Amino acid sequence: MTSSIITNQIRSMSDDDEEIIEFLMRRNRPRVFRNRIDHINKWNDTEFFRRFRMKKPTFMYILGKIENTLSTVKRMTSITPMQKLLVALRFYATGNFLITAEELVGISEPSACRIVQQVTFALAKLRPDYVKMPQNMEEIRQVSYHFYKIAKMPRVIGAIDCTHIRINSPGGENAEYFRNHKGYFSLNVQTVADANLQILDIVVRWPGSVHDQTIFLNSKLKTDLENGRFGNNLLVADSGYANSQHVITPLLQTNNRVEEIYNESLIRTRNVVERQYGVWKRRFPILSFGFRIKLETTMAAIVACAVLFNITRTHDGEEPPDDYEARNFIIAQEEPSQIPVHANSNQQFTARHRLLNDYFPSLLGGNGQ
């Protein structure tokens, strides 16, 4: 019995020694890294634009804004800030970590995931500089002027709406709160567009089952409007929002030519936010494919895509070549419909009422019939 115990102990010690030796050999073995592709020089301008959704000078501009945040201790194995940004942009273009990892040689799928998270939060922190409502009266006048040129709607500083971004079920007891009326899990994302499709404001925290009007009622933007930050200027919206002193919506039924012209003007003016969603999602197809990452990172990534969208709209001057698979997906999917918000009992105090009585009749020479 004693002999058997001693034999087992010796065998155990021998096994331990072998494990220690194997560990030391693994630790001292030089790691082999594949050469990573120089994507800046590998691709011509057109192909780089298609793959990374922006032109090379724009890429370098964005890199300059987040390079310090992405920098790490200089080691032979370090991934440079430039490589990190390329990884994130390719993910926003494909929505797939595996594709991203395979194309960017030398980066594993888990590494790509960590890199995307780091870059995403770095980009999202740029939001105050690139996603903002007009900051002073001169900017307000400029925004309003460009809206007026569309269909002669006065005093407009933004077109507001919501779009659904697909997500995986977040799990937990509140998961169904994220399922929208079309039956899939989503975030209901509110944005405000200017006449040039720039994103002036974005709200990303609401589950897909929440109504557009609820999101607006709980937004800082509504408070700013009510506090007079933007003077007597307005937002244009669809019938999913309540008509008010600061938000004008279409008439559900028209009774004369003045009302018809009002509706025509509002619909044409508000159309910029619909166009914004189409262009935004074509620029970064992941917004159509949907996110399969943690909810917190998803929210940050949507903000990051808004930041990138505004920068690229300003710097690139054109849209990247279509990804036809993404384009077909965008066309095929439908937004969950919103229940129209019924008019309140104080319509005579709304901006729409004043426009219908004071402004639009003047476009017809005072004849409202």
Q: Rounded to an integer, what distance in angstroms lies between the CA atom of residue 69 and that of residue 180?
A: 36
pLDDT at residue number 68: 94
pLDDT value of position 173: 94
Q: How high is the mean pLDDT of the chain?
A: 86
d(CA 186, CA 48): 31
Q: Which residues contact 74 (CB under 8 A, 6 or more apart)?
A: none
pLDDT at 302: 99
Sheet of 234-236, strand order: 199-207, 186-193, 156-166, 234-236, 247-248
- Rounded Cα distance, 138 and 155, in Å: 13
Q: What pTM was estimated for this model as a whole?
A: 0.85
Compute the Cα dihedral for 188, 190, 193, 199 and give only its sign.
negative
Look at residue 369 and give its three-state secondary structure: coil
pLDDT in tens, 52-69: 999 999 999 999 999 999
Per the structure block, which two tokens stand in for 104? 């960017």
Low-confidence ranges of the chain (pLDDT < 50): 1-33, 73, 76, 331, 345
CA distance 248 to 266: 8
Which pLDDT tens digit goes with each residue over 228-241?
A: 999 999 999 999 99
pLDDT value, residue 313: 97
Q: Model confidence over 255-265: pLDDT tens digits?
A: 999 999 999 99
Q: What angle do CA 92, 95, 98 make, to 5 degrees?
A: 115
The predicted pLDDT at position 345 comes to 45
CA gap 125, 307 in Å, rounded: 9
pLDDT for residue 19? 43
Closest by alpha carbon to 48, among 8, 93, 84, 102? 93
pLDDT value at position 322?
73
Output the DSSP codes for 133-148: ---SHHHHHHHHHHHH
